[in-house]
Amino acid sequence: MTLSEDITACAAIVERGDPDRFMVAMAAPVAARRVLFPLYAFNVEVSRAPWVTEETMIAEMRLQWWRDAIEEIAKGGTVRRHEVVTPLADILTPDMAAGMDEMIAVRRWDIYKDPFEDAAHFDRYIDQSAGTLMWVAARILGAADEAVVRDVGYAGGVAAWLRAIPDLEARKRVPLLDGTADGVRALARGALDRLQRARSNRRAISRAAAPALLSGWQSGAILKQAVADPQAVANGTLGQSEAKKRFTLMWGAATGRW
């Protein structure tokens, strides 16, 4: 299967902006890359839109551009020509596109410096970003239970969030409701519980949909590290070595286990 120029362009965006998800897409069957690369490129573009400027109005405009593009797909009419939007229009149904608007809207938190309102607000941020991305990918690729997918997505989102804490704090954001050691442990344990619950229901995810969940392949190890050593979050030392990352990814891709 030959990938189009747009898909190749999406792959380049992901390789530069999200190397871990690039590895996941490359480990997936070639047919799945036609789905994963546009979705992951969209995620890269939307997630970085609030950070490329200090001007809140410009950041809002950048997010609105993506909301307008997704709305065009949702309406099922003419869609603007764009290296990411065009291949997205090829894989998304209108209702899928409508649901993806939340992925953009939730990123408005990144523009401003207000803390999360409460635990529900934080959970919604993680679910509507990482969870929705994973759910849309799984839904396109094959049969999957949404609750299971969103549990895996939440765990992966929290793991990624914990790794981003030093950078977020350097940007004057307040990323955690409770940044104490106990607070970090509780957050990591809660995410780990959801991951373990999802893994106990593996049969609810078809083999075809499994590549969508593989993007969370590091989350279990990272969350366990955060539970064992919360200070590693502040120190920015969470994560696996490159060799370990590649080995566990290849194992997951070969076995279909996430």
Kindly report, residue by residue over 193-208, the tens digit of the pLDDT.
Answer: 999 999 999 999 999 9
My answer on whether 170 and 65 are in the same domain is no
My answer on whether 204 and 168 are in the same domain is yes
My answer on whether 27 and 142 are in the same domain is no
My answer on whether 107 and 232 are in the same domain is no
Cα gap 11→84, rounded to integer Å? 10
My answer on whether 3 and 107 are in the same domain is yes
Longest dimension (CA), the chain: 52
Cα gap 239→222, rounded to integer Å? 6
* pLDDT exceeds 80 at position 58: yes
Domain of 71? 1-112
My answer on whether 140 and 229 are in the same domain is yes
My answer on whether 137 and 237 are in the same domain is yes
My answer on whether 2 and 100 are in the same domain is yes
Beta carbons within 10 angstroms of residue 218's beta carbon: 21
pLDDT at 256: 85
Averaged confidence pLDDT in the chain: 96
Cα gap 76→61, rounded to integer Å? 23
Task: Give me the number of domains the chain comprises.
Answer: 2
My answer on whether 94 and 173 are in the same domain is no
Using pLDDT thresholds of 50, 70 and 90, give the confidence band for residue 1. Answer: low
* pLDDT exceeds 90 at position 3: no
Task: Please identify, among 112, 141, 176, the residue that sits at the C-terminal boundary of a domain.
Answer: 112
* pLDDT exceeds 90 at position 122: yes
Kindly report, residue by residue over 150-180, the tens digit of the pLDDT.
Answer: 999 999 999 999 999 999 999 999 999 999 9
My answer on whether 63 and 159 are in the same domain is no
Q: Contact, 66 vs 104, CB < 8 A?
A: yes
Let me know the angle formed at the C-alpha of 164 by 158 and 167, rounded to the nearest 5 degrees. Answer: 155
My answer on whether 121 and 108 are in the same domain is no
My answer on whether 143 and 206 are in the same domain is yes
Kindly report, residue by residue over 64-118, the tens digit of the pLDDT.
Answer: 999 999 999 999 989 999 999 999 999 999 999 999 999 999 999 999 999 999 9
Task: Please identify, among 112, 132, 162, the residue that sits at the C-terminal boundary of a domain.
Answer: 112
pLDDT at 182: 98
